[in-house]
Structure formats: C-alpha cells, structure tokens
Amino acid sequence: MSSSIERFWYRKDVLRWFFWPLSYLISLFARLKRLMFILGITRNYKSRLPVVVVGNISVGGTGKTPFIQFLVAELAKKNIKAGIVSRGYGAKINNFPHLVDESDNAKMVGDEVYMLYRQTGVPIAISPKRSEAVKLIETISDLDLIISDDGLQHYAMDRQYEYALVDGQRGLGNRLMLPFGPLREPVSRLKSVDQVIVNGKSEEALSGLTTRNVQIEVVGLVHIKSGEQVTLSNLSEHSVTAVAGIGNPDRFFKTLAEHKTSFNSMVFDDHHDFCAEDFDKISSEIVVMTEKDSVKCLPFAKENWYFLKIRMKGGEQIIHQLINRILEH
C-alpha cells in the first residue's frame, strides 16, 4: 500500500485533480498556523542564540542529515561552534528534553540523532517540542548557534535562518498536501525561506525561486564493526546485497550503482528497527547499507558488513551567506 501511495504522490496522475480541493483546504490550515505565529497571536520561544532550521516541505529523504553534517564541519572551520536540536524520531527514552551523551545508542535517541552525534561530536538535544530542546542546549556556554534538524513547521521555535531542501530526483511530486501528496506545507512556503537547496540535479522547474544545488559524493566504504575505511574497488570483486531503511532508498541504490553495476537490494521502512534476523536470507559476500541504518546494526554487525560513506559538496557560497547573516545578529 505504501509503495502505491508513493507512486501516486510522485507522478503527474490526472486523478490528483480530484483531491486538489481537499488538499487546498489543508494548505489553508497550514498557512493559518504559520500566520498566527507571525502575527504574535501564538507565542514562540526566542533563543539567545541564532537558530538555523534545516528542513523541508515534503516527507521522505531530501538530504537534511548530510547537509547538517556539512554545515557543522564548515562552520567549525570558521571557529563557529554549532549545537543541534532534533525531535529525536523513534527515541525510546521517556524524559525530554534530553542531551545526548556517550551512554546513548540509536534505539535510545533515534537513528538519525545518534548518527549525527557520532559524525559531528557536537552537543545534541532532543525533544518532540524542539523549543524545549533549544532551551536545554542554549545552556551550553560555548555555543555560537543552534541548528535545528527539521522543524521548518515547528513555529513554536523562533528562528533567524531557514534552509529548505528539495530532492532533485523526486522534486515536489504531485504538489498536493498530505495525505494526498507528499507536502507538509504548500509550495508557496518555499518563497518565504532564506534558501532553497536542491540536492542533486533537478528534474523539476521551481519557478520563481532562487535555488542552489548541492551534490552527494561517495567517500568510500566503512567497515561497520571496526570503523575502518576501505576502497570502493572491493565491491567489484564480490557479490553485494544493498540494504536500505530510509525515506528515499532509490537515491541510495542509484548512488551505489555508480560503483557497482549489479547487486541485490532489500528495502525496509524508514527508521526500521533492524534485528539480526532481517539478514538471515542474505547470501552475498558483502552487505552494504546507509550510515543511518548501520548505527542500528552495530550490536550484531558481521565482518562482511559495510556502510557507504557520503558527504555533501557544492555549498561553500551557502556557508558564506550564513556566516554574514549570523554576524548581523
């Protein structure tokens, strides 16, 4: 059912016009919610630090996590220390807000959060109410700004800068609101953000918007158990099964296909809670997965399991603009 819905979301099916009136009503509610915060009718929390939101208006993977990792690393080169706040999707802990530490794992704080913590090493606070996470993380004295992982629609959290990411391959689909399409907010919301970032080559015209393109590039293969990085040439010599439990598995498979023309693939739901039994039927010599999936497989990873290490490039001008904006505050 989910795959059928997604196919409807991301194709220009004539049936979408039957759902357009309902989608339009939902978009009005989304506009009204934002307007109430803009007018001050509903209050939001204003941090003592600049808050940068990295989000999207559509569901599914758009590249937010590698973009946040890129932002943190590039800002650090300019001696700007960032902290991260997140909803902590899938977190099993009961007490929020929570500051992630070395005793946590992917099940406790969520897969994306735990991966970001391992990647960046910066303070990360999680809470379903991101404004509460902001209040916690801003108590860390040496931070210069806060990056919100997602939260474009969390208006209870004030912000000074907004990035909206769009997947270049899938675009905005049929441009209808959930549940009739993939959008959390109407397309017009993109006109109000500070920067629209298109991840990959865009197959869809975003008329009237100033966009910047970034690209995902593969760094190499990383052995899950040891953390050792190996060359991608290992793939050509062995049979491979690619495993993905992310929002946009096709992007992962297409990226892998640039380095291995033939492989088996297994798709799980986004944020799937992996267990060892999920891999029982795999007979390939090498298993390759995303880094987000790998952090959940650490406890039972085998010697032939790797994740595909990626990084984002092409955003130097974006960083320059952000730093100038921070200096204004």
The whole-angstrom separation of Cα 152 and Cα 189 is 10
Q: What are phi and psi of 298, to 5 degrees?
A: -55, -45
What percentage of the chain reaches a pLDDT higher than 90? Answer: 73
pLDDT at 1 over 50: no
pLDDT at 87 over 70: yes
Q: What average pLDDT does this structure show over 147-165?
A: 95
> What pLDDT does residue 113 have?
96
178 and 26 Cβ atoms separated by less than 8 Å: yes
Long-range contacts of residues 282-286, Cβ cutoff 8 Å, at least 24 apart: 282/241, 283/239, 284/238, 284/239, 284/240, 284/241, 285/238, 285/239, 285/240, 286/234, 286/235, 286/238, 286/239, 286/240, 286/241
Burial degree of 141 (CB within 10 A; 0-12, 13-18, 19+) = exposed
Residue 79: count other Cβ atoms within 10 Å of its Cβ.
Answer: 7
207 and 188 Cβ atoms separated by less than 8 Å: no
* CA 312 to each of CA 106, 148, 213: distance values in angstroms, whole numbers, following the listed order: 23, 18, 10
Q: How confident is the model at residue 85 (pLDDT cuts 50, 70, 90)?
A: very high
> What pLDDT does residue 323 have?
82
Here the tokens at position 37 are: 């915060």
Q: What average pLDDT does this structure show over 191-212?
A: 84
Residue range 222-280, pLDDT digits in tens: 999 999 998 888 888 899 999 999 888 888 999 999 999 899 999 998 889 999 999 99
Helix, strand and coil content of the chain, in percent to the nearest 5, comes to 35, 20, 45
Rg (CA), the chain: 20
> What pLDDT does residue 236 have?
86
Report the DSSP pairing between strands 98-99 and 124-126. antiparallel
* CA 205 to each of CA 129, 184, 198, 281, 309: distance values in angstroms, whole numbers, following the listed order: 34, 19, 11, 42, 30
> What pLDDT does residue 189 have?
96
Q: Which strand (E) or helix (H) includes residue 23?
A: helix 16-38
Helix 316-328 with 64-77: angle, nearest 10 deg = 70
pLDDT at 293 over 70: yes
60 and 270 Cβ atoms separated by less than 8 Å: yes
The whole-angstrom separation of Cα 34 and Cα 31 is 5
Burial degree of 207 (CB within 10 A; 0-12, 13-18, 19+) = exposed
Residue range 103-121, pLDDT digits in tens: 999 999 999 999 999 999 9
Q: What are phi and psi of 269, to 5 degrees?
A: -65, 155
> What pLDDT does residue 2 have?
64
> What pLDDT does residue 206 have?
78
Residue of 152, 234, 242 lying closest to 193 (CA atoms): 152
What percentage of the chain reaches a pLDDT higher than 70? Answer: 98
Residue of 120, 173, 126 lying closest to 149 (CA atoms): 126
Residue of 162, 137, 165, 128 lying closest to 52 (CA atoms): 162
The whole-angstrom separation of Cα 288 and Cα 238 is 12
Here the tokens at position 4 are: 């059928």
The whole-angstrom separation of Cα 80 and Cα 141 is 13
pLDDT at 178 over 90: yes
Residue range 8-49, pLDDT digits in tens: 898 877 888 899 999 999 999 999 999 999 999 999 999 999
Specify whether the backbone of 230 is left (phi greater than 0), alpha (psi in -120 to 50) or beta: beta
pLDDT at 191 over 50: yes
